[in-house]
Structure 1
Amino acid sequence: MTSITTHTASFDILFTSDLHGAIRPIHYNTNTYRPAGLALLGSLIRKERERSPELLLVDNGDLLQGSPLASYAASQVSNNEGHPFITVLNELGYDAAVMGNHEFNYGQDLLRKAVEVSNFPWLSANIVYGEQAERSELGAGSDLPPGTGIPAFGPPYLIKTLSSGVKIALLGATTHYIPNWEHPKNIEGLQFIDALETIRAWVNYIHEHEQPDVMVVSYHGGFENDLETGEPTERLTGENQGYAICRDIEGIDVLLTGHQHRQLIATIHGVTVIQPGFSGNGAGHVTVKLEQSSGGKWQITDKKARLLLLDEHSEIEPDATVMKLTDELETEAQAWLDQPIGEVDGDLSITNATALRLKAHPFIAFVHQVQMEATGAQLSNTAMLSEEARGFGSHITVRDVLSNFIYPNTLTVLELSGQDIREALEQTARYFEVNASGEVAVNPAYMEPKPQHYNYDMWAGLEYELDISQPVGSRVVKLEREGKPMGMNGTYSVVMNSYRAAGGGDYAMYPGKKVLHEGATDMAALVEDYIRRHQPLTVEQANNWQVVGS
């Protein structure tokens, strides 16, 4: 009796997502050590590669923006070739990267320079050139799946064949909601087509033309539904489609996700899904095991996902090569960050983020001053963009500005009616609820599936009161301008950041309104310029609004 030999194989996927410029293990606000960043993850990557030489290594997007180091690096790219962060990914041997929404924040020139010097492809099947009618002009584009287009930054997918003969397909896609946030000049000439439908078309195409043994999708987007119940957890705008991708598309084995900054592992309709957090606090790891049938076809026998979190690997030291590659950049960035730009006469510090959102605060009043002077708008709204923001001490440096203004948003002025403003305040009032103890607290909907504190706005140029004990939609109990009730039919110029003006944060009353001004300078640069021109910086004691609970 002859025995039958069964051939088996396995491989590992390792991926990062939402690094947001976190390369070195440092908290730039305080210059203290932080157990996060790609230098530390790089040490884990090298260990995993020793154990699994045929590792598939992927970055899932939002690499180039989000830290003071990223801001400095972006300012230098125009003077140098490429991007210093790409040097690190090249060194670590990444197989592919996917476009994130924040990749576009500094414009396409910087992004394309980063792509050009990458030793790996940037995959994003649904970010395409121009109108789909142009595909015939681009040769091979005529063979693309119906309903898709020519990917604008490289191939839509990657095929990697292992020494065992196992064939892996990796398809990349990005949340198509980017035009709702990004400044039009940064995405000129591009179309962002529906990620769900694009993934469906390309998965079918890849199975037909490539016949892979394993189908992996790396999607810079998250989950719109509860992973266990399937119930919606947010308004279904199309920003996040992870659940629908697993539920509605056949032929996907592994879905790598990001964008929401969550740490999660699950199986949805047979698809192994994983998301590794943000700012380099961890990486995602998936092991796939296969068995070869007598006919030579490989079949998946097991898939196991796990999170490699740096707070669970305290013994890990930063990768020496990654540190050396960024030493010069770090030295230059630190000198830049420590540049003094002004002094404060008064107190612009933030000690309690929750208290800041309950009544008018001097730091927020300062932000309004900057926005209104820059644009001449009658009214202003703004949000506290980071829970780590600490305002300003008596001496202000570039570091202080970038620590408080972490996104490169520009300013937009809209013409709004009094009714629009009331609706916007009602939307912002949803941020709060009255808890079981009768106290005003943050609505859990703004904490899960990810914190959204940045979607709570505070206003200047009017007087208002929000009573959270009232039903949602009826919480604006006072709305006045210059001591008189605001007319609902009157029109006003209102300045806000570009993300909010596009409707970001479910502010549906803004899109489509008349645009009176669109700025080209990001907020951090406006703040720095304002401080330099107003020395010493004086503090406005605002008292124009408050939140109450009964």
Structure 2
Amino acid sequence: MRLRSCRLTALIATALLAGCASQPQQHSQPQALPAGLRADVALLETTDLHSNVLSYDYYKQKADPTLGFERTVTLIRKARSQFTNSFLFDAGDTIQGSVLADYQAQVQKIDCGQELAIYKAMDAIGYDGGTIGNHEFNYGLPFLSQVTGTPMNVDGANPQRCAGPHYPLVLANVNSVRDGKPIFRPWTIVERKIAAFTPDGSQLSVPLKIAIIGFTPPPIMQWDKQNLDGKVTVTGVVEAAEKYMPQIQAQHPDLVIAILHGGLNTSLYSADMENGGWYLAGVPGIDVLLMGHEHTDFPGPRFAHMQDVDDQRGYVRGVPAVMGGFFGKDLGVIRLALVRQQDHWAIDKSKTFSQVWPICPPMMMAGKPAVSASNCVPADPQVRLAVGKVQQAAVDYVNTPIGQSTVRMSSYFADEGDMSALAPVNAAQIDYTRRELPATHPELTGVPVLGSAAAFRTGFGGPDDYTDVLPGALTLRNAADLYFYPNTLTAVEVDGSGLKAWLEQSARRFNRIDPNAHGEQPLINEKYVGYNFDQIQGGVAYVIDLSKPAGKRIVKLTYRGKPVTPSQHFVVVTNNYRANGGGHFPGLDGHNVVLAAPDGTREILARWLQSHPSLGAKDLPAASWHFARLKTKGTVVFTSASNKQALAATDGLHAVRQLRDNGDGTAVYAIDLSH
């Protein structure tokens, strides 16, 4: 089924890895169509599903109607009923990101003849194509090769073609080291009959030939170095597009769609740019741009005032574009108006525009738009039928008991100094490294080992997107809640200067606070994501002075009560993403790794929790930082889940108080920095 649109003959079947064809083919003359013919085509996009197949919160063990592919399917069916002509594509980060995904990849691994749950659900509705996101590489190339049904000429991959999705996957900028060829088809052709109308209103059935080409973020080589180093190489998205565009144009497609797992960045282009959509839109021949990776909506206000970007109608440098959210919360829709001119289809930009359809349309609450679970579209029952059995197996697995706890571990106030959800992660990382490091680096025996962790769930996905492990029985589900991503443990060696630079980068999470300003000042810098706010423990202590500019905020940095000197040596335990350059932390680019563990941090944490069957405060490192005292004339504010003020006080944050409830499960809090 993957090959049907390429119309390959036996003579060119061997050219699959170089695209649908690596040599010119003989084609019959295209059908002569009357000038002025018009057709409306809906291009539908999902992206960053992260294997959220069902509307379910695995960590809170309850339904969550605000996310899930089963509800996106309802919107897909609505779009298909509304538009006579439609195509459906996926922009990547599809197979990783939920308990269900980890269960099938790491616990009860599926065999070659089984199809991954997320792909079964997608096949149930029917897709026309997709690309590969950065998180597709998290489980390694052999797994990716298997579950996508794509034999790859890389170490460990099974040359056998296994069960994969029933739609073509394209990826133009990742090549095998062995032969220099793409590990996926870089592009392919999707062809179908569409309904079109003559100027007098007569309907015709005519062919539409669409070329799709895919791209993933080049920084995968840093983010997943342990899975990719020495096996593949990556090229920039513009370079890859320019390489394959002549091949694509030789097939005379009516439209060329670039499916990019990436967003928009107008800074100076480089081949390793993470979000190269703005530059990709400028490659001659690309007609439409489908985007992802940034976990946001385009068109949308985040992209207001960006050069040559229409954040209202959805254009990037004159190219229709869309980015359809994340976790199945939205469906991207481009209403493409085509008109036949001079023997080819042209896009009528006066009638073409993009939208993002939410599964939960906002409602007005307290005078502001807010998401309400009561206003979400219903789930499509066909999806649950496709995956219900493996879903239940995954739920049963994560409820495996691993111990007891007398402490509450939450991330509601992780940005304000509550380290309860990070302390067990850092304790487990430090313990593991102290045991494993001497075997490979005996010269580092006696060097202080510190743990670095960030709160992965800090409300980005809504009021339920926080870690919250209550006192009582602990299960594997709690370990997954405390450590959200399937990273592996990695330790690096840094000096005192490097440690301070690390903390300074983390402190960019906050805005600079003006003590003389009246009115409200937001504490959090929304442009700096929460998972890059590393908090370090293990005998180190430091103070963050928010009155100072970024890069000069860490004061009173000590280790065991003594000031840290620039030349002092430390081993800091983090994850493979951070150690290899993720987040652009100074001095972290993979060169100073001293331990690259084969074990995942989540699994290390679960074993540590099992070794502490009655976990109490005495087993956890104390909080290591606080804000410098700062008396402000105005109010410093931040947002968290509503009605958690008592929890803040319990965790020692007595300067935090709830100001107002937003009516959507969140609230605005004030923090008094003078205490």
State the TM-score bracket (shorter-chain normalisation): 0.7 to 0.9
Say whether 1:500 aligns with 2:578. yes
Aligned to 2:303: none
Structure 1 contact 362–541 (Cα < 8 Å) conserved: no
Q: Deviations over 1:474-526 (max 9, x none)?
A: 22211111222212112221111111111211202112543211011111111
Aligned to 2:233: 191
Aligned residue runs from structure 1 range 74-473, under 5 A:
74=105, 75-79=107-111, 81-116=114-149, 117-130=164-177, 134-135=179-180, 150-163=181-194, 164-185=206-227, 189-207=231-249, 209-225=250-266, 232=267, 238-246=273-281, 248-265=282-299, 266-293=314-341, 295-302=342-349, 303-312=352-361, 314=375, 316-345=377-406, 347-350=407-410, 352-353=412-413, 356-359=414-417, 361-376=419-434, 378-387=449-458, 388-435=466-513, 441-444=522-525, 447-448=526-527, 452-461=529-538, 462-473=540-551
- Other structure's SS at 2:100 match: helix
- Other structure's SS at 2:72 match: helix
The count of aligned residue pairs is 515
Aligned to 2:646: none
Structure 2 contact 426–452 (Cα < 8 Å) conserved: yes
Structure-2 change in CA distance of 1:304 and 1:188 (3 Å): same
Aligned partner letter, 1:213: D
Aligned partner letter, 2:455: M
* 1:54 CA drift (Å): 4.4
- Other structure's SS at 1:46 match: helix
* 1:360 CA drift (Å): 5.9
Q: Which has the higher contact order (CA 8 A, sep 6+)?
A: 1
Aligned residue runs from structure 1 range 515-534, under 5 A:
515-534=593-612
My pick for the range that moved more, 296-305 or 419-428, is 296-305
- Other structure's SS at 1:123 match: coil
Aligned partner letter, 1:47: K
Structure 2 contact 43–87 (Cα < 8 Å) conserved: yes
Say whether 1:41 aligns with 2:72. yes
Structure 1 contact 374–526 (Cα < 8 Å) conserved: yes
Aligned partner letter, 2:354: A
Structure 1 length as normaliser, TM-score? 0.88
**Partner Cα separation in structure 2 for residue 440 and residue 525 of structure 1:** 40
Aligned to 2:103: 72
Structure 1 contact 360–546 (Cα < 8 Å) conserved: no
Match for residue 17 of structure 1 among 47, 50, 54: 47
Aligned partner letter, 1:268: V
**Partner Cα separation in structure 2 for residue 47 and residue 440 of structure 1:** 42
Structure 1 contact 159–170 (Cα < 8 Å) conserved: yes
Segments of 5+ residues of structure 1 without an aligned counterpart are 136-149, 226-231
Aligned partner letter, 2:627: V
**Partner Cα separation in structure 1 for residue 268 and residue 387 of structure 2:** 40
Structure number with bigger Rg: 2
* 1:29 CA drift (Å): 2.3
- Other structure's SS at 1:166 match: strand
**Partner Cα separation in structure 2 for residue 375 and residue 357 of structure 1:** 26
**Partner Cα separation in structure 1 for residue 94 and residue 621 of structure 2:** 39
Aligned partner letter, 1:474: K
**Partner Cα separation in structure 2 for residue 316 and residue 175 of structure 1:** 32
Aligned partner letter, 1:344: S
**Partner Cα separation in structure 2 for residue 343 and residue 178 of structure 1:** 38
**Partner Cα separation in structure 2 for residue 11 and residue 39 of structure 1:** 24
Structure-2 change in CA distance of 1:26 and 1:258 (3 Å): same
* 1:259 CA drift (Å): 0.1
Aligned to 2:38: 8
Structure 1 contact 433–469 (Cα < 8 Å) conserved: no
Aligned partner letter, 1:488: P
Say whether 1:476 aligns with 2:509. no
- Other structure's SS at 2:501 match: helix
- Other structure's SS at 2:416 match: coil
Structure-2 change in CA distance of 1:424 and 1:234 (3 Å): farther
**Partner Cα separation in structure 2 for residue 522 and residue 204 of structure 1:** 43
Aligned to 1:535: 613
Aligned partner letter, 1:485: P
Structure 1 contact 65–71 (Cα < 8 Å) conserved: yes
- Other structure's SS at 2:88 match: strand
* 1:371 CA drift (Å): 0.5
Structure-2 change in CA distance of 1:218 and 1:527 (3 Å): same
Q: Deviations over 1:3-61 (max 9, x none)?
A: x8732223221110000111111222221332321111122223333444642111110
Aligned to 1:146: none
Segments of 5+ residues of structure 2 without an aligned counterpart are 1-33, 150-163, 195-205, 300-313, 363-374, 435-447, 459-465, 631-675
My pick for the range that moved more, 473-482 or 46-55, is 46-55
- Answer 1 or 2: which has greater helix percent: 1
Structure 2 contact 215–261 (Cα < 8 Å) conserved: yes
Q: Deviations over 1:439-479 (max 9, x none)?
A: 885443xx23xx61111111113122121212322222111
Structure 2 length as normaliser, TM-score? 0.72
My pick for the range that moved more, 40-49 or 173-182, is 40-49
**Partner Cα separation in structure 2 for residue 440 and residue 369 of structure 1:** 34
- Other structure's SS at 1:524 match: helix
- Other structure's SS at 2:599 match: coil
**Partner Cα separation in structure 2 for residue 259 and residue 281 of structure 1:** 14
